[in-house]
Each structure stands twice: as structure tokens, then as C-alpha cells.
């Protein structure tokens, strides 16, 4: 196997290894077990959001409103507990239900009204952001210090010594892998995303899959919102937006890693961990906040370009 | 033949693992229309691309007008006066005719584009050289396919430098009525002394307009016909295939039983009206008609891709409502669409994935796909239908037209479909694969399936079908038995050259001959 | 036959609906907020819309050169980030580094050109989709501009910038006048030159352009560079409007740019992105924002209204395609 084809296939993994070595040489703490666990835990919410995005991109669309689903998940759960005294799992279910509103709206706009996913979810984003501002009178957080410990444990608890958020993200990741990569549902979704018209003629119930994909994705992302709310014991309006670009980048880096360029769960997982490593490594280097922002932006662009360039090599 | 305008000699071209051209030759005389025929993969398009400078040949020589061209680049070939009319239309839908004709060669003055002059010159060229009147401000998307083709030709010839024009399958997207318009324009070009290479699968066109014909097979020049007559088609086929094909069409012996699908006064309010017919199990029924006759829309409506506004569709003696193709498929009615690259196959997926797409439940347990089962099923279809290369993991995009079509058919053969709607199943398919598809249609009917075949090839309709429905302007104008039906008469009926009275009696067709 | 006629008129009504809805809303505002119809308010609307108009020129060019499929066609979301970076560089140079105006301008121009080149190279050389490319550069450029300004607001009182805000040329405010000139220049470039029509050909059908000897990559590359330069140009108006640079301007500008440009496509009879459509879209969106403000509508509602608006207009576009089919 020539060096070129070796780089073509595993080039991105070499890049990740290079970053790990680089960060480790700056600060030995980077490689310690506790820190590695931090990286994974810190990536949990992004992974959940990126998985929802993977599903939508696999259907051939894009979702600019994932942040809204995340905010709604957090808001509905916090309000349910704080204002209505609902117990923790009831609140979690209500949060997930709140997130599904976003998916339902997207499904209605794209499938019902035939609007392109980019513009439809952009509209949802505008509306969802505005609703949050109206509801919170301009964007003030809704804090709930007295949140039940069980709910709080979604973010800070442990299951057999593993942080709960990792367990939740891991389970969702496994479900997504089975459904999207191993089941006939996933096979159909990929067919719809790659060539909608051919999927219709093949007799697939395209609209049904599109609607359910939007709803399922928004419910998934809302789980990320629950963890975020549990973590800081409050709902911060419009905070979901910050995950959008990272999630999109993760999905497309992941797709570039796939031999046929399809969006896929494992690729997304690798890309999210890569982004987590970069964030964590830059933090440990003790850089100025602004320098860190600029560097992680530049690394994101370079990583995407490299991943795509590498996939074209094949 | 030193007076030839183009001489390509001993051209050799290899791709990794494939010898695409093996010392192939092609020579064209001034002012002639030179046909180039061969099956898919015979090397026609490869030698055209070598001529265009897109592919670099490994051996051989190329001279235009007795001048040897040592480095064959697109620019050098263009400068030598060779122009290409590609199969695809390659026009911008929202550009005007004038903008399209002058695309890449715009006329400019000190104050920018000379829009008026470009419009006048393009209108003049279309009128004088091609004998059509088209307003230079019309948008491309408002033109018919034949007119678009003429615009494409005008673009290649507007600079008056062309000495040799290469037409690659120019009539492929056209309806039979429009073909005449294009052929007339080509004849006018010949009168102006321009030499032409005419590449086509349609042998009737080749025998109709070509002066000489070169036949390719397996990358080699196997025959050059210096004289072409109306009845040369048989000899051409023999040279192309390398064996004599006595019967393109299988012997049909059908025994129609109960009605499979019935249309009762079906209409969509726009493209077709008041359509009634019955297709029985074990029967092949054809639909003939020009583009715009409502044929395509009728097929789409029967499959649930479009919605009817009046009338009923009956399947197996029960009236049904189809809101989408999924409803049709679950009821055992399937479609092989006319645009297989767009609607038939998921081009980025493998042969196996495409074959199993319509029946994924059968290769799964508890919703999880069993890959070994899926591959085995694909392998069976590949073997039964002789899909080449025999590799279930091959990406569908990379298959030839015939093999793509067989993959679409293979998908439906794995289901228990009882009614097959075939829409232009052999467009862009080479002769060998055509014969195989015809045999398959026959086998389907013998096994009791009902086949509705919509086609613009009259020979195919008469050869395969028991009956033919002729559509014109959205209505069925004739329903005719194929026994003793001649091609001429069928063409006359589709173009409305016979009376418009509805012939319902099955034996009328035979009696009139 | 009468049915066909009905369809025609129905599709015509739907075609005109986006513009009618907009004008209707403006008239409604005019009746309910008497101040709105004043000349000064109109001036304010135009002044407000200037930065959006300029970046819309850039986005229209990229869409025209890349085709109007949002996912696979041409789009450049990074223009507003480039504008904010450029504004940041100018402000930082003038206010903190005491550099002369020309040096600040040269540096900002260079930065914008680099962003455009990076976008263009990633799209034409590496083959990334423009949406993905420009989302990524958006993030990176915002990061860099925060580094330049240390995420702080920087005031600018340079006379040139002040002139753009307060000055007048032939009785029209300077910013509006200069923008008008810019629009005309871009119009000439796109619709009146061989270069422009070839660039449109690339977006209309890449294959057709290639067959006609037009090099698509060359035009796509230039489209991204030009787009980044509109970001550079817009930065002056951003500085003038805000009397300096402030972080976080880019998010809102990006959303307004996309809203205005695609609204513009809904206004155009061919339903494609055009220069005039984008300009009209930008002005109307600004008119609505200010109109609602003068009516005393809670500012939190504007996002909801804008979001619903784009959805209604785009849905009408989809409907009109359906009716015509």
C-alpha cells in the first residue's frame, strides 16, 4: 500500500494522533485518565446534537434549528419542574416533547409546504429565537436551584463510575448506529437522502420517513438540552445556537471519512471527539480566551478542508 | 483517400484494465454525413472524445484537412473547425436564445455586451441555416426539445468556421415528430458543404440520412459501408453484434386471463382525458404516442406519481386509490421509469442496495438488514439477468445504460409484482441488452404478469405487444391488434395521419392492411 | 380551456403575492404609525439598509455563479463575518494603533481578500460545498475578529467614517449615495459585460458553460473574492452606522442577508436570485423593522415576524411551482 493511499484512507486519524501528541507535549495532564474522561464528557451534548444533525443530513436536508430544539428541551423541563412541580422524569419527557414541537414544525414546512430544508429551518430558527425572547422577556435565564437531584444527576451523576451524560450519549449513539447503519429503516433513509425521486419510484414512503426523521432528530437534540439544563441548573435562552456550527462540521467531517462520502454515525462520533480534543487541548494550553476562539475556528476550517480533500483522494 | 477531411488512423486508447480502442480508424469525406454505429462499449464515444481532445490516445494519428494534428487539445481541434453537438443539451434554462447561442463567444463593444446584435445574428442564423423561426429573446425553458437542439447546433456553428460537425445521439431526447425537424436541419447543413459524423443507436435514422457508415465493435473498426440503402439495417446490426440477430423480438405466445389493471374514464384535467382500457394478466399492451400525447402522464398517474381528477383505476377487479407509488408497490404494481438515472436508480448506491431497495423487509430480521441475504439476492439477479460486471458492490452510476436498466428490472423481479409498467425501457440501451430485455418482457407475460409498455419505438411496440393503445393529444385514438400491423401504419396513427375515429375493434388493424 | 385560464390567473396571483404582502404590511404600518410615511423615516430606512444591501450584492453574485440550490449550489454565509473582521481591523488600527486611514483600509482589504481566496480555493480546488465552506470560515473569521478587537467595542471618530454617517451628496445621505453607485457598478458588471454573463452561465448550468469554453472554477473563485470584498465595503457602513465596531454584529447581519436575498428571489419573475431582488429585499426588510419599531411593536417580536415572513414567501414560491407544473 503506497503512502498516498494510506494517507487517503487514514489521513484524518493521523491528524487526530498528531493533535493528541502536540497537546500532550504541552501539558502532560492532557493524557491522564481523568482528563480523557473530561474530553468525552465535555463532548456528550455536542455528540447528541450532531447525531440528530446526522439523521437530517442523511435524509438529504440540513437543520439550522437544532439549537432551538435544544433550548426548548431545556426550557420545557425546567419550567415543568419549577412552575408545575412535576417530578424529574415527567419533566424530562415534557422537555423531549417540547423539542419535538420544533421537529413537527420543520416537518410541516418541508414536507407539507415543500420549502427547502435550509430556508425552512432558518425560519424555524428565527421564530424559535423570537419565542424565547418573548417568553423570557428579552432572554433572561430561568434558574431553578431547587431542581430534584435525580434530574441534576443527568449531568453530574454517575452510572457504575461513568458520568451519566456519557452513558446517555453512548446509548443514543448506539441506537442511532443500529437504526441508521444496520436497519432497513436506515437503508431507506440513505436512499431518500441520496436520490429522493428514485426512492419515491422504488415505493418508499418518503414523506413518512422525512417527517419522522425531523421529529426524531429534534427529540434527540432535546435530550442534549436536558443535560445542559441539569448541568447549570437553569435554562439559558438561545444557548443552543452555539452547537449548530460544530454539529454541522462534525457531520460533514464524518461524511468525508466514509468511503462513499455518506453521513454516518461512526464518522460523526470520530469528528465530535476530534473537536472535543481540540477544545480541551487549547484550554489546557492556558491560552487567552480570544486566541483560543480564533485558533479553534482555524483548526475547524483546516480539519474540514483536509477531511474533504482526503475523501476526494480515494 | 487523401481528400478526406478527417483521417483517424490506428487509434489506441487504454483505461486501467480495459482496451477501449484497438487500432481503430475513422475517415470522413468532405460534405458527407458519416454514420458511426456500434453497441454500448464498442468505443464510439471513446473515439469521439479522442477526437475532441478530451482523452489522449496512446497511439495512432489524427489529421484534419490533410494537416496532421500532433498535439490534440480541445483548442487545436476547435481551431481546425471541428464542432461537437453533445447528446446532453447543456443549456441554461433561464437564458435567452441569443444569450445561449453566443455563450462563451459573446459580442462586446466599448459599452459592454452588444445584446441587440447578438439577438439579430442568432435569429438570422436559425432562420437561414436551420430554417426555423425562433425569437432571440425567448427563454430556453420555454422552447421544445427539438428547438433547444437547434439552438445547441446554432451555438456550435454561429462563427461560420465549422468544417466538420459531430452529432452524438442528437435525436435521443426527441419525439418522432420532432426528429424530422432535426434531420431536415442536418440535411440543410450538408447542402452548405459541411461534413458530419452522426452517432446514433437509431438505425432507421442512419439508413435515412447517412452517405457512409463506419461500424465499431470491441474497440475496433469492423466494417465501413460505402453505400447505404434503406434496407442496410440488417447488415449493420450483423456487423455491430458480430452475429446475425434473426429475431430482435421473442416469439410471443400469451394467454390473457383476468383483468389486471383497468382505467375507467381516467383523466387528470390537463394532460389526458377520458382514458379507458383493460390490461389482462399474461398480456403485453403497448402505448404509442408522441411526446405531449399524455402517454407519460398516464403512466405516472397509474403509478400514483400524479393524481387523477376524474375516473377510476381498477386493479384485480377492485377500484383503488393511489396517493403515492408506495400504494402501488404494496398492491403489486411496479414501474420501470423512463429516466432511469434520475428516477430508476439511486446512482450512488451499489447494485445490491438498488436491487433490494423495493423489498428490504425480505432481507431483514426484526428490522435489521441481513447483509449476506441481501448480497445473495442481488447475486441471483445479476446471474439471471446477466448484469455486467457481475459485482453486487458495484456503484450503479458506473454501469452502462443496459445494465442499469436490468438492475431496475431486477429490483422488481425480487418482489411479487404482477403488473409491470415499463416506460421507454430500452432508450439508450444497446442492441444486445435490448434483446435480453425483450426476452424478459416475454417471460413476464408468460408467467402471468400484465405488462403495460409505453414506447416511442414502433418496431418494439409491434414486436412485443398483443395490442397497442395509440394516444394523441391526451386521448386514446386507436386501440389496435398487432397482428399484421405495419410500422408505417402505426406511425401514421401516432402522428394523426390517419382519420381520428376511435378504432376499437381488435381485428380492424389487420383488416385494414 | 377555461380551466387552463383559471390556473394562469391563480399562478399570477401567487406570483405577485410576496410583493403584495410586503406592500400591504407597509401600508398598514403607514396608517397606524403616521411618522412612518415621513421623508426622514424613509431616509432612516435607507441608511439602515445600506450594510445589508452591500453584502447582499456579494451573496447574489455567489449564488448566480454557483447555482441557487442552497445545499449544493452557491452560497456564502461568511460575508457578514468578513465585514465584521474588516470593521474590527479598521477600528483597531485607527483607534488603538493610531495608524493612518489608508493603512487601516489596506489591511482590512487584504484580510477580506484572503477570506475570499480561502473560500474560493476550498470550493474550487478541494471540492467542498459552498454552504459548508462558508459556515466554517464564518466561525473562523469571527474567531479572528474577536482576537483583533479583544471582543471589545471600539469607537471610531475618523472624519471619513463620520462623513459616511452624517454627510450628504446631492442632498442624499452619503452612505446611500455611495451604495447606489456600488449597486449600479455591480449591475453593469453582472448584466452588461461578457464576464458577468459568463459568470451567470456557470451558475445556470456548469456543464453548458464548460462546453462553451468557459472555465467554471475561474468564475466561482472570483465570485467568492468579490463577495468577500463586498464584506470589506460593507464594513465602512457598519462602522458609520454604529460609530465604531462592536462584536456580535455578524449573526444578525448574516440572517438579514440571507432573508433579503432569498426574499428577492421570490420577488423576481423568474424566481431566481437577482441583484435588484436582493437590493429590494434588503430595503423592504429594513422598512419593516423600522416600521414595526415606529408602531411600538415589542422588539422581541421582530424575529418571529421576519421568520414567518420568509416562510410565507418561500412557501408561496413552492406553491407557484406546483400550480404551474
> pLDDT tens digits for B193-210?
899 999 987 777 888 889
Q: What is the CATH number of the domain that holds B322?
A: 3.40.50.300
| C140 touching chain A per CB within 8 A | yes
Domain ranges of chain C: 2-324
pLDDT higher than 90, residue B20: no
Res B78: pLDDT? 87
Taken as a whole, chain A contains a residue count of 314
Q: Give the confidence band of C1 by pLDDT, cuts at 50, 70, 90.
A: very low
Confidence check: pLDDT of C88 > 70:
yes
B476-482, long-range: CB < 8 A, 24+ apart = B476/B275, B476/B276, B476/B277, B476/B502, B477/B502, B478/B502, B478/B503, B478/B509, B479/B277, B479/B503, B479/B504, B479/B506, B480/B506, B480/B508, B480/B509, B481/B506, B481/B507, B481/B508, B481/B509, B481/B510, B482/B286, B482/B509
For residue A124, count CB atoms less than 10 angstroms from its CB and return exposed for 0-12, middle for 13-18, buried for 19 or more.
buried
Contact at CB, B104 and C209, closer than 8 angstroms: yes
C208–B269: do the CB atoms touch at under 8 Å? no
Integer Cα distance of A257 and A262 in angstroms: 9
Q: In terms of domains, do B371 and B504 share one?
A: no
Domain definitions of chain A by residue range: 13-309
The pLDDT, as a whole number, for residue A5 is 61
Categorize the per-residue pLDDT at B252 as very low, low, confident or very high, splitting at 50, 70 and 90. confident
User: What is residue C183's predicted lDDT score, i.e. its pLDDT?
Assistant: 94
Whether C310 sits inside 8 A of A290 (CB atoms) is no
What is the C-alpha to C-alpha distance for residues B118 and B109, in angstroms, rounded to an integer? 12
**B373 in reach of chain A (CB within 8 A):** no
H helices present in B132-246, as ranges: 145-157, 176-191, 203-209, 233-241
Residues of chain B with Cβ-Cβ distance to C4 below 8 Å are 270
**Is B330 in CB contact (< 8 Å) with chain A?**
yes
B132 shares its domain with B281: no
Given an 8 Å threshold on Cβ–Cβ distance, is B343 in contact with A190?
A: no
pLDDT surpassing 60 at residue B509: no
> Would you state the pLDDT for residue B500?
42
Record: contact C200-B92, CB cut-off 8 A: yes
**Three cell numbers at A133?**
425572547
A295 interface with C at CB cutoff 8 Å: yes
- Chains contacting B with at least 3 CB pairs below 8 Å? A, C
CA B245 to chain centre: 21
Q: Which of A246-260, C66-80, C96-110 has the lowest mean pLDDT?
A: C66-80
Q: Residue A25: which residues within 8 A CB-CB, separation 6 or more?
A: none
Minimum CA–CA partner of A200 in chain B: B325
Neighboring chain B residues of C214 at a CB cutoff of 8 Å: 103-104
Site from A188, A202, A206, A264 to mutate, B interface, most B CB atoms within 10 angstroms? A202
Do B64 and B137 lie in a common domain?
Answer: yes
The predicted structure's pLDDT at residue C302: 77
- The chain A residue lying nearest B339, using CA atoms, is A198
3-class DSSP state for residue B489? helix
Judged by CB atoms closer than 8 Å, whether chains meet at B91 and C205 is answered as yes
The pLDDT of C51-61, averaged and rounded, is 93
- Is C59 within 8 Å of C75 (Cβ atoms)? yes
User: Would you give per-residue pLDDT tens digits along chain A (314 residues)?
Assistant: 466 666 666 777 888 888 888 888 888 888 888 888 889 999 999 999 999 999 999 999 999 999 999 999 999 999 999 999 899 999 999 999 999 999 999 999 999 988 889 889 988 998 998 899 888 988 889 999 888 999 999 988 888 888 999 999 999 999 999 999 999 999 999 999 999 999 999 999 999 999 999 999 999 999 999 999 999 999 999 899 889 988 998 998 899 888 888 999 999 999 999 999 998 898 888 888 888 888 888 888 888 888 888 777 66
Q: Please indicate if any CB of chain C lies within 8 Å of the CB of B142.
A: no
Contacts of A129 in chain C (CB under 8 A): 303, 307
Which CATH number among 2.30.130, 1.10.3470, 1.25.40, 3.30.70 corresponds to the domain A13-309?
1.10.3470
Average pLDDT over residues B215-219: 86
What residue in B sits closest to C5 (Cα-Cα)? Answer: B270
Q: Which residue of A has its CA nearest to B330?
A: A203
Burial readout C53-92 (b: 16 or more C-beta within 10 A, e: otherwise) = bbbbbbbbbbbbbbbbebbebbbbbbbbbbbbbbbbbbbb
Distance from CA of C62 to the nearest CA of B (A): 17
Q: What is the pLDDT of residues B302-326, one digit of tens each?
A: 999 999 999 999 998 899 999 999 9
**Chain A residues touching B364 at Cβ < 8 A:** 183-184
Nearest CB to C306: which of A126, A248, A249?
A: A126
pLDDT at C34: 75
Nearest CA to A300 among C287, C109, B176, C139?
C139
Inform me whether the pLDDT recorded for B503 exceeds 60.
no
* Cα–Cα distance measured from residue C299 to residue C302, given in angstroms and rounded to the nearest whole number: 6
For residue B308, the number of C-alpha atoms closer than 13 Å in the C-beta half-sphere is 24
Instruction: Report in angstroms the alpha-carbon separations of C259 from B152, C277, C286.
Output: 37, 11, 11
B103/C198 touch (CB, cutoff 8 Å), yes or no? yes
Q: Is the pLDDT of residue B510 over 60?
A: no
Query: Cβ–Cβ of C258/A131 closer than 8 Å?
Result: no
The ipTM of this complex is: 0.86
Domain final residue pick, B366, B386, B414: B414
Last residue of a domain, one of B397, B414, B431: B414
The pLDDT assigned to C211 comes to: 78
Residues 197-236 of A with CB under 8 A from C: none
- Which of B52, B79, B106, B301 would best serve as a mutation to test chain C binding (most C beta carbons within 10 A)? B106
Least Cα separation, residue B413 to chain A (angstroms)? 13
Quote the minimal CA–CA distance from A66 to chain B in Å. Answer: 28
Write the residue in C150, C304, C308 that is nearest to A290 by C-beta. C150
Nearest to C197 among B86, B113, B155 (CB): B113
CA distances from B450 to A253, B444, B466, C141 (A): 48, 8, 11, 62
Asked if A249 lies within 8 A of C131 by C-beta distance, the reply is no
Cβ neighbours, 10 Å, residue A289? 11
Contact yes or no for C132 and A252 at CB 8 A: yes
C152: closest CA of chain A, how far (Å): 11
Quick check: B511 pLDDT over 70?
Answer: no
Number of Cβ pairs < 8 A linking chain A and chain C: 134
Q: Chain B partners of C193 at a C-beta cutoff of 8 Å?
A: 108, 112-113
Mutation pick from C149, C318, C322, C323 vs chain A, by most beta carbons of A within 10 Å, is: C318
Q: Is residue B11 part of a domain?
A: yes
Contact B482, B466 (CB under 8 A): yes
Cα(B79)–Cα(B480) distance, integer angstroms: 54
Residue of B nearest to C212 (CA): B104
Report whether pLDDT(C118) > 90.
Answer: yes
In a shared domain, residues B275 and B294: yes
pLDDT greater at residue A292 or residue B335: B335
Q: How many Å lie between the alpha carbon of A256 and the closest alpha carbon of chain B?
A: 15
Question: Which CATH entry fits the domain spanning C2-324: 2.30.29, 1.10.287, 2.40.30, 1.10.3470?
Answer: 1.10.3470
Question: For residue A174, which residues of chain B lie inside 8 Å, CB to CB?
Answer: none
Question: How many Å apart are CA C60 and CA C191, to the nearest integer?
Answer: 13
Residue of higher predicted confidence among C222 and C315: C222
Lowest mean pLDDT of A28-37, A180-189, B285-294, C165-174, name the range: C165-174
Domain count, chain B: 3
Which candidate, C70, C108, C76, places its Cα nearest to that of C89?
C108
Q: C-chain residues within 8 Å CB-CB of A61?
A: 71
- Let me know whether B210 and B288 are in one domain: no
Does the pLDDT value for residue C226 go beyond 70?
yes
Same domain, B187 and B325: no
Report pLDDT for A48.
98
Nearest to A301 among C137, C302, C304 (CB): C137
pLDDT at B512 (0 to 100): 35
Single out the residue in B414, B446, B464 at which a domain terminates: B414
Domain that holds residue B461: 259-332+416-512
Q: B449: pLDDT confidence band, cut at 50, 70 and 90? A: very high
Does residue C127 sit at the A interface (CB-CB below 8 Å)? Answer: yes
Portion 149-188 of C in contact with B at CB < 8 A: 188
pLDDT band at B26 (very low <50, low <70, confident <90, very high): very high
Q: Which of A182, A187, A198 sits opposite B360 (nearest CB)?
A: A187
Asked whether residue B87 is assigned to any structural domain, the reply reads yes
| Residue C300 in contact with partner chain A when CB distance is under 8 A | yes
Residue pair B320/B340 in contact (Cβ under 8 Å)? The answer is no
Contacts of C308 in chain A (CB under 8 A): 123, 126-127
CB B37 within 8 A of CB B236: yes
Q: What is the mean pLDDT of chain B?
A: 86
Instruction: For an interface test with C, give the residue of A11, A131, A261, A290 to mutate (most C CBs within 10 A).
Output: A290
Q: Is B269 on the interface with C (CB under 8 A)?
A: yes
The reply to whether residue A203 touches residue B325, judged by beta carbons under 8 angstroms, is: yes
A114 neighbourhood in chain C, CB within 8 Å? 315, 318-319, 322
Q: What is the pLDDT of residues C247-286, one digit of tens each?
A: 777 877 888 888 888 888 877 766 778 888 889 889 888 8
Amino acid at each position: 500500500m503506497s503512502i498516498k493511499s494510506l494517507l487517503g484512507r487514514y489521513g484524518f486519524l493521523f491528524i487526530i494522533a498528531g493533535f493528541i501528541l502536540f497537546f500532550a507535549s504541552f501539558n502532560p495532564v492532557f493524557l491522564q485518565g481523568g482528563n480523557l474522561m473530561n474530553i468525552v464528557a465535555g463532548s456528550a451534548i455536542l455528540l447528541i446534537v450532531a447525531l440528530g444533525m446526522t439523521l437530517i443530513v442523511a435524509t438529504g436536508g440540513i437543520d439550522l434549528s437544532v439549537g432551538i430544539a435544544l433550548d426548548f428541551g431545556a426550557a420545557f423541563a425546567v419550567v415543568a419542574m419549577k412552575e408545575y412541580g412535576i417530578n424529574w422524569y415527567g419533566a424530562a419527557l415534557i422537555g423531549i416533547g417540547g423539542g419535538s414541537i420544533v421537529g413537527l414544525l420543520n416537518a410541516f414546512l418541508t414536507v407539507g409546504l415543500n420549502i427547502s430544508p435550509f430556508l425552512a429551518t432558518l425560519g424555524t430558527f428565527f421564530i424559535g429565537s423570537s419565542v424565547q425572547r418573548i417568553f423570557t422577556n428579552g432572554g433572561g435565564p430561568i434558574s431553578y436551584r431547587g431542581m430534584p437531584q435525580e434530574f441534576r444527576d443527568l449531568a453530574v451523576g454517575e452510572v457504575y463510575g461513568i458520568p451519566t451524560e456519557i452513558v446517555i450519549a453512548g446509548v443514543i449513539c448506539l441506537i442511532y448506529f443500529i437504526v441508521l447503519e444496520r436497519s432497513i429503516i436506515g437503508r431507506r433513509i440513505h436512499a431518500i437522502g441520496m436520490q429522493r425521486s428514485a426512492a419515491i419510484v422504488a415505493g418508499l414512503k418518503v414523506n413518512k420517513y422525512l417527517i419522522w426523521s425531523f421529529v426524531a432528530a429534534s427529540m434527540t437534540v432535546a435530550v442534549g438540552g436536558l443535560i445542559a439544563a441539569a448541568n447549570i441548573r437553569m435554562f439559558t435562552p438561545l444557548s443552543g445556537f452555539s452547537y449548530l456550527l460544530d454539529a454541522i462540521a462534525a457531520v460533514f467531517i464524518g461524511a468525508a471519512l466514509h468511503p462513499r462520502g455518506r453521513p454516518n454515525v461512526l464518522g460523526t462520533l470520530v469528528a465530535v471527539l476530534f473537536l472535543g480534543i481540540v477544545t480541551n487541548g487549547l484550554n489546557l494550553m492556558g491560552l487567552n480566551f480570544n486566541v483560543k476562539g480564533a485558533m479553534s475556528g482555524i483548526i475547524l476550517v483546516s480539519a474540514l478542508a483536509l477531511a474533504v480533500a482526503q475523501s476526494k483522494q480515494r | 483517400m487523401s481528400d478526406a477531411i478527417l483521417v483517424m488512423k490506428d487509434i489506441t486508447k487504454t483505461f486501467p484494465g480495459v482496451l477501449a480502442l484497438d487500432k481503430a480508424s475513422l475517415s470522413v469525406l468532405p460534405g458527407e454525413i458519416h454514420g458511426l454505429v456500434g453497441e454500448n462499449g464498442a468505443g464510439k464515444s471513446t473515439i469521439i472524445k479522442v477526437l475532441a481532445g478530451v482523452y489522449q490516445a496512446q497511439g495512432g494519428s489524427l489529421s484534419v484537412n490533410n494537416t496532421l494534428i500532433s498535439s490534440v487539445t480541445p483548442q487545436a481541434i476547435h481551431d481546425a473547425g471541428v464542432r461537437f453537438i453533445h447528446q446532453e443539451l447543456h443549456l441554461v434554462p433561464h437564458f435567452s436564445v441569443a444569450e445561449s447561442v453566443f455563450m462563451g463567444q459573446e459580442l462586446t463593444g466599448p459599452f459592454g455586451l452588444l445584446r441587440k446584435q447578438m439577438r439579430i445574428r442568432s435569429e438570422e442564423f436559425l432562420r437561414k441555416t436551420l430554417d426555423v423561426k425562433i425569437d432571440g429573446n425567448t427563454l430556453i425553458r420555454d422552447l421544445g426539445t427539438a428547438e433547444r437542439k437547434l439552438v445547441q447546433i446554432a451555438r456550435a456553428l454561429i462563427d461560420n468556421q465549422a468544417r466538420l460537425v459531430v452529432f452524438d445521439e442528437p435525436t435521443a431526447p426527441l419525439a418522432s415528430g420532432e426528429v424530422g425537424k432535426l434531420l431536415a436541419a442536418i440535411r440543410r447543413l450538408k447542402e452548405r458543404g459541411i461534413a458530419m459524423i452522426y452517432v446514433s443507436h437509431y438505425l432507421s435514422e442512419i439508413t435515412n440520412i447517412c452517405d457512409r457508415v463506419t461500424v465499431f465493435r470491441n474497440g475496433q473498426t469492423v466494417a465501413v459501408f460505402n453505400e447505404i440503402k434503406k434496407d442496410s439495417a440488417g447488415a449493420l446490426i450483423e456487423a455491430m453484434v458480430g452475429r446475425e440477430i434473426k429475431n430482435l423480438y421473442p416469439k410471443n405466445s400469451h394467454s390473457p386471463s383476468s383483468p389486471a389493471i383497468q382505467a375507467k374514464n381516467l383523466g387528470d384535467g390537463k394532460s389526458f382525458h377520458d382514458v379507458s382500457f383493460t390490461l389482462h394478466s399474461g398480456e403485453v399492451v403497448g402505448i404509442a404516442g408522441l411526446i405531449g400525447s399524455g402517454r407519460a402522464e398516464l403512466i405516472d398517474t397509474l403509478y400514483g406519481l400524479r393524481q387523477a381528477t376524474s375516473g377510476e383505476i381498477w386493479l384485480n377487479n377492485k377500484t383503488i386509490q393511489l396517493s403515492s407509488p408506495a400504494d402501488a408497490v404494496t398492491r403489486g404494481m411496479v414501474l420501470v421509469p423512463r429516466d432511469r438515472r434520475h428516477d430508476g436508480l439511486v446512482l450512488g448506491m451499489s447494485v445490491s442496495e438498488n436491487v433490494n431497495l423495493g423489498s428490504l423487509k425480505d432481507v431483514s430480521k426484526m428490522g435489521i438488514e441481513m447483509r449476506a441475504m441481501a448480497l445473495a439476492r442481488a447475486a441471483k439477479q445479476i446471474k439471471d439477468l446477466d448484469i455486467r460486471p457481475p459485482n453486487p458492490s458495484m456503484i450503479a452510476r458506473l454501469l452502462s445504460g443496459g445494465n442499469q436498466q436490468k438492475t431496475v428490472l431486477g429490483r422488481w423481479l425480487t418482489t411479487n409484482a404482477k403488473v409491470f409498467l415499463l416506460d421507454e425501457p430500452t432508450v439508450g440501451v444497446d442492441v444486445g441488452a435490448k434483446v435480453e430485455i425483450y426476452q424478459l418482457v416475454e417471460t413476464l407475460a408468460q408467467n402471468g404478469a400484465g405488462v403495460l409498455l409505453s414506447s416511442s419505438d414502433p418496431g418494439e411496440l409491434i414486436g412485443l405487444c398483443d395490442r397497442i393503445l395509440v394516444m394523441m393529444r391526451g386521448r386514446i385514438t386507436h386501440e389496435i391488434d398487432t397482428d399484421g400491423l405495419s410500422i408505417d401504419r402505426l406511425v401514421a396513427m401516432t402522428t394523426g395521419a390517419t382519420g381520428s375515429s376511435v378504432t376499437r375493434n381488435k381485428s380492424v388493424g389487420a383488416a385494414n392492411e | 380551456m377555461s380551466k387552463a385560464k383559471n390556473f394562469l390567473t391563480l399562478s399570477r396571483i401567487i406570483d405577485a403575492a410576496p410583493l403584495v404582502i410586503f406592500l400591504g404590511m407597509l401600508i398598514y404600518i403607514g396608517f397606524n404609525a403616521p411618522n412612518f410615511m415621513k421623508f426622514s423615516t424613509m431616509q432612516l430606512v435607507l441608511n439602515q439598509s445600506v450594510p445589508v444591501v452591500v453584502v447582499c450584492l456579494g451573496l447574489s453574485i455567489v449564488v448566480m455563479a454557483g447555482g441557487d440550490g442552497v445545499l449544493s449550489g452557491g452560497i456564502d454565509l461568511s460575508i457578514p463575518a468578513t465585514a465584521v473582521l474588516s470593521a474590527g481591523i479598521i477600528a483597531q488600527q485607527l483607534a488603538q494603533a493610531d495608524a493612518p486611514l489608508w493603512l487601516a483600509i489596506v489591511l482590512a482589504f487584504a484580510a477580506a481578500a484572503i477570506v475570499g481566496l480561502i473560500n474560493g480555493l476550498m470550493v474550487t480546488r478541494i471540492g467542498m460545498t459552498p454552504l459548508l465552506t462558508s459556515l466554517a470560515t464564518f466561525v473562523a473569521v469571527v474567531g479572528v475578529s474577536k482576537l483583533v478587537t479583544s471582543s471589545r467595542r471600539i469607537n471610531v471618530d475618523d472624519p471619513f467614517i463620520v462623513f459616511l454617517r452624517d454627510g450628504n451628496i446631492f442632498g442624499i445621505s452619503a452612505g446611500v449615495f455611495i451604495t447606489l453607485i456600488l449597486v449600479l457598478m455591480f449591475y453593469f458588471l453582472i448584466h452588461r459585460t461578457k464576464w458577468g454573463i459568463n459568470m451567470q452561465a456557470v451558475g445556470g448550468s456548469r456543464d453548458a458553460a464548460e462546453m462553451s469554453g468557459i472555465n467554471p472554477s475561474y468564475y466561482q473563485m472570483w465570485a467568492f473574492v468579490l463577495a468577500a470584498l463586498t464584506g470589506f465595503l460593507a464594513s465602512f457602513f457598519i462602522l458609520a452606522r454604529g460609530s465604531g465596531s462592536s462584536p456580535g454584529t455578524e449573526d444578525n447581519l448574516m440572517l438579514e442577508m440571507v432573508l433579503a436575498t432569498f426574499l428577492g428571489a421570490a420577488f423576481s419573475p423568474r424566481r431566481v436570485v437577482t441583484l435588484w431582488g436582493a437590493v429590494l429585499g434588503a430595503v423592504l426588510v429594513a422598512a419593516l423593522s423600522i416600521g414595526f419599531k415606529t408602531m411600538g411593536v415589542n422588539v422581541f417580536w421582530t424575529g418571529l415576524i421576519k421568520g414567518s415572513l420568509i416562510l410565507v414567501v418561500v412557501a408561496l414560491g413552492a406553491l407557484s411551482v406546483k400550480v404551474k407544473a
